[in-house]
Amino acid sequence: MKLSKVVSYGAAAVAFLILLVPGLLVASTWTPINLAVALCAVAGSIFIAIWIPKWKWPMAAVSSVLIAVPPYPYWLFGDNAGSWYFHFFHGFSIQNLSIPTFVLVFAISLMLFAVIFWALRNKGRVELDR
Protein backbone atom coordinates (compact mmCIF):
# COMPACT_ATOMS: atom_id res chain seq x y z
CA MET A 1 0.00 0.00 0.00
CA LYS A 2 1.34 3.41 -0.92
CA LEU A 3 2.20 5.95 1.75
CA SER A 4 -0.39 8.34 0.30
CA LYS A 5 -3.21 5.83 0.89
CA VAL A 6 -2.02 5.25 4.44
CA VAL A 7 -2.08 9.00 5.11
CA SER A 8 -5.51 9.46 3.53
CA TYR A 9 -7.22 6.53 5.18
CA GLY A 10 -5.34 7.06 8.43
CA ALA A 11 -6.63 10.65 8.62
CA ALA A 12 -10.18 9.41 7.96
CA ALA A 13 -9.87 6.73 10.65
CA VAL A 14 -8.57 9.22 13.20
CA ALA A 15 -11.39 11.66 12.33
CA PHE A 16 -13.93 8.83 12.67
CA LEU A 17 -12.59 7.90 16.12
CA ILE A 18 -12.52 11.52 17.30
CA LEU A 19 -16.18 11.89 16.28
CA LEU A 20 -17.01 9.01 18.62
CA VAL A 21 -15.13 10.41 21.65
CA PRO A 22 -18.09 12.33 23.17
CA GLY A 23 -20.28 9.22 22.91
CA LEU A 24 -17.54 7.06 24.41
CA LEU A 25 -17.12 9.40 27.36
CA VAL A 26 -20.84 9.39 28.14
CA ALA A 27 -21.05 5.62 27.56
CA SER A 28 -18.39 5.05 30.19
CA THR A 29 -20.25 7.11 32.81
CA TRP A 30 -24.00 7.10 32.09
CA THR A 31 -25.42 5.24 29.11
CA PRO A 32 -24.23 3.92 25.74
CA ILE A 33 -27.15 5.50 23.85
CA ASN A 34 -25.04 8.54 22.83
CA LEU A 35 -22.36 6.27 21.40
CA ALA A 36 -24.94 4.28 19.43
CA VAL A 37 -26.50 7.46 18.02
CA ALA A 38 -23.09 8.94 17.13
CA LEU A 39 -21.97 5.69 15.50
CA CYS A 40 -25.15 5.49 13.41
CA ALA A 41 -24.89 9.17 12.45
CA VAL A 42 -21.25 8.93 11.35
CA ALA A 43 -21.83 5.65 9.50
CA GLY A 44 -24.88 7.17 7.83
CA SER A 45 -22.88 10.21 6.75
CA ILE A 46 -20.17 8.02 5.24
CA PHE A 47 -22.80 5.91 3.46
CA ILE A 48 -24.48 9.02 2.05
CA ALA A 49 -21.11 10.49 1.00
CA ILE A 50 -20.36 7.35 -1.00
CA TRP A 51 -23.77 6.66 -2.53
CA ILE A 52 -25.46 10.09 -2.71
CA PRO A 53 -22.59 12.63 -2.73
CA LYS A 54 -24.86 15.66 -3.22
CA TRP A 55 -26.43 15.00 0.20
CA LYS A 56 -23.20 14.49 2.13
CA TRP A 57 -23.03 17.99 3.69
CA PRO A 58 -26.66 18.14 4.86
CA MET A 59 -26.21 14.68 6.40
CA ALA A 60 -22.91 15.77 7.97
CA ALA A 61 -24.68 18.80 9.46
CA VAL A 62 -27.42 16.60 10.95
CA SER A 63 -24.81 14.17 12.28
CA SER A 64 -22.83 17.06 13.77
CA VAL A 65 -25.94 18.29 15.58
CA LEU A 66 -26.51 14.77 16.95
CA ILE A 67 -22.91 14.71 18.20
CA ALA A 68 -22.90 18.29 19.52
CA VAL A 69 -26.29 18.01 21.28
CA PRO A 70 -26.24 14.37 22.37
CA PRO A 71 -29.43 12.44 23.04
CA TYR A 72 -28.89 11.89 26.74
CA PRO A 73 -29.59 14.12 28.70
CA TYR A 74 -30.80 16.76 26.24
CA TRP A 75 -33.59 15.12 24.25
CA LEU A 76 -33.83 11.51 25.31
CA PHE A 77 -34.49 10.41 28.84
CA GLY A 78 -34.69 7.06 30.56
CA ASP A 79 -36.72 5.93 33.53
CA ASN A 80 -35.89 3.36 36.19
CA ALA A 81 -37.75 0.65 34.27
CA GLY A 82 -35.28 0.94 31.38
CA SER A 83 -37.67 2.68 28.99
CA TRP A 84 -36.55 5.59 26.86
CA TYR A 85 -38.75 8.52 25.91
CA PHE A 86 -38.35 11.89 24.22
CA HIS A 87 -38.28 14.84 26.55
CA PHE A 88 -36.55 17.80 24.96
CA PHE A 89 -34.23 19.76 27.26
CA HIS A 90 -35.94 18.51 30.42
CA GLY A 91 -34.65 20.55 33.37
CA PHE A 92 -32.59 22.89 31.19
CA SER A 93 -33.15 26.53 30.47
CA ILE A 94 -31.39 29.05 28.24
CA GLN A 95 -29.30 30.13 31.23
CA ASN A 96 -27.85 26.71 32.00
CA LEU A 97 -27.49 25.34 28.45
CA SER A 98 -23.93 25.33 27.18
CA ILE A 99 -24.73 26.81 23.76
CA PRO A 100 -21.11 27.91 23.04
CA THR A 101 -19.99 24.33 23.68
CA PHE A 102 -22.67 23.01 21.31
CA VAL A 103 -21.51 25.43 18.60
CA LEU A 104 -17.83 24.55 19.12
CA VAL A 105 -18.45 20.79 19.00
CA PHE A 106 -20.67 21.27 15.92
CA ALA A 107 -17.90 23.17 14.12
CA ILE A 108 -15.24 20.62 15.07
CA SER A 109 -17.51 17.79 13.93
CA LEU A 110 -18.02 19.43 10.54
CA MET A 111 -14.25 19.80 10.16
CA LEU A 112 -13.78 16.13 10.98
CA PHE A 113 -16.41 15.20 8.40
CA ALA A 114 -14.48 17.33 5.90
CA VAL A 115 -11.41 15.18 6.58
CA ILE A 116 -13.42 11.99 6.05
CA PHE A 117 -14.99 13.32 2.84
CA TRP A 118 -11.56 14.43 1.60
CA ALA A 119 -10.22 10.91 2.12
CA LEU A 120 -13.24 9.38 0.37
CA ARG A 121 -13.00 11.79 -2.55
CA ASN A 122 -9.28 11.27 -3.05
CA LYS A 123 -9.45 7.50 -2.45
CA GLY A 124 -5.87 7.57 -1.30
CA ARG A 125 -4.58 9.74 -4.15
CA VAL A 126 -2.70 12.20 -1.97
CA GLU A 127 0.39 13.88 -3.35
CA LEU A 128 3.09 14.03 -0.73
CA ASP A 129 6.16 16.20 -1.05
CA ARG A 130 9.29 14.14 -0.87
Tens digits of per-residue pLDDT, 93-128?
666 678 888 899 999 999 999 999 999 887 644 454
Average pLDDT taken over every residue of the chain: 83
From its phi and psi, is residue 89 left (phi > 0), alpha (psi between -120 and 50) or beta? Answer: left
- Burial (CB < 10 A; 0-12, 13-18, 19+), residue 56, is buried
Q: Is residue 56 part of a domain?
A: yes
Q: Is residue 128 part of a domain?
A: no
Q: Is residue 127 part of a domain?
A: no
Q: Is residue 103 part of a domain?
A: yes
Q: Is residue 34 part of a domain?
A: yes
Closest CA relative to residue 19, chosen from 59, 52, 63, 56: 63
Task: Give residue 129's pLDDT band: very low, low, confident or very high (50, 70, 90).
Answer: very low
Note the pLDDT tens digit of each residue in 36-65. Answer: 999 999 999 999 999 999 999 999 999 999
Specify the pLDDT at position 62. 95
In total, how many domains does the chain have?
1
The verdict on whether omega for the bond into residue 73 sits within 30 degrees of 0, i.e. cis, is yes
Closest CA relative to residue 59, chosen from 71, 47, 72: 47
More confidently predicted of 43 and 6: 43
* Domain with 64 in it: 3-122
Q: Is residue 88 part of a domain?
A: yes
